[in-house]
Amino acid sequence: MNDNYNRDSYNPYQDVSNQHNQRYADPEKKGAFAGFGVTLIKTVTIALVFGLVAGVAGSAVLHFSGISLGIFSEQGETKDHNSSKDDVDDEDDKRPTGGLQQTNTDVQTTVAVMDVSDIVSNVMPSVVAISNKGEVKYQGMWGQTYTQETESAGTGFLVEQDADYIYIATNNHVVADATELTVQFSDSTTAKAEIKGTVASKDLAVIKVAIKDISAETMNVIRLATLGDSTDLEAGEPAIAIGNALGYGQSVTTGVISALGRSVSVQDSSTGVTVVNNNLIQTDAAINPGNSGGALLNIKGEVIGINSVKYAQTEVEGIGYAIPINDAMLIIDKMIDGEKIDESQSGYLGIQGRDSSLGAYVHAVLPGSAAQKAGMEAGDIIIEFEGTTIATMSQLKELLSYYPAGEKVEFVILRPQGNDEYSKIGITVELGDASILN
């Protein structure tokens, strides 16, 4: 706005008053006209005020009458009012070049209760409830060992099928310590399941159900889940969580993607090692015990994440986490495609390492090992293995157990350059034979 012109302070009646005072500065002439002038100004002022009030009232009546008669909508009038005022456009033109612009209010957004019933009905045939009967051993006060039977509930969803089995993705902690696993399909029929593979450090597992144990009627009802792309997510877009909350049966919660790439630290109950997952989806869709292993969906009904209560923060509300489906499927596909390799046949890297804040720190590289042949050096930090982010040495070791000797695998490492700077390097390693240790 021009600094020499201030619409708020400008008063046209002040100019009239000034001219009047100048014209009749002579006291004798002023006295003759003073009474008439004051009366005239009062009359004009009252008339103007009355006209202004009447005009506003008339506009209000017209506005609300128009709405009740359906002549125009409130939303439409507001949009026209904001976009067509000449004086606003004029003031915009007078703003200094490079000034801040106002937020865009032309974006058309419908704010309403989100009805996801159609999405849920389409997705539910791919979701199962999981019951886990297990045994947990614990030690008494005097050193005695006791075994206690446990029962827990979780969720999973169908990801693949072959000639003999249907494969179900879930969380590792849903199936941990299981002696008996049962899945319930969307038509309420049940079948026994067995563990195909687990990766505790990623809280992922795959279980399988024999097709021969599923009735033809159920096979006609159930469906494989449609997977989405978790790399294409944006904060603020809708999110839908489906799961067997508290073991009461499948339920639905809704919310939004609150944030992406969240880092959460948890302690692995089996090893006691603190594991960091630094690429979780944060959502305010309620994720409760029993929801673990269930699907986090986008508005298309595609699975974009695997819900995990393991990463929940009990001290706050409205924060739940899910493992991005792109990250999860790299491991799930490996578990489905190949049995876990026997330790004597698993691929051997040939390093000694420890955990660090950035990844798996390589303390030493053994002479003649696969790592040395590939160019890995002491001081390197392994941050990625076959597309999976590496946080700890135990996680790396667990993932390597799925790869046999002789297989070529891809690593991403950070190599120190001094002054706390690192260069990122990709390395291909042909895994060695663990028998060289004998």
What are the residue numbers of the active site? 173, 203, 292
| Cα separation values, 10 from 4, 14, 38, 95, 173, Å | 11, 8, 22, 19, 72
**Amino acid letter at 118?**
D
Three-state DSSP state, 99: coil
Q: Give strand pairing partners of 206.
A: 169, 197
> Which among 109, 416, 133, 157 has a CA at the least distance from the CA of 304?
157
Question: Cα separation of 238 and 231, whole Å?
Answer: 15
3-state secondary structure of 140: coil
Kindly provide the residue ranges of all beta strands, DSSP E only, lying in 177-319, ordered along the sequence.
Answer: 178-184, 190-199, 204-210, 238-243, 251-267, 274-283, 295-297, 303-307
DSSP 26: S
DSSP H/E element including 83: helix 74-84
Structure tokens at 289: 């015990």
* Residue 36: its H or E element: helix 27-69
Contact 402, 382 (CB under 8 A): no
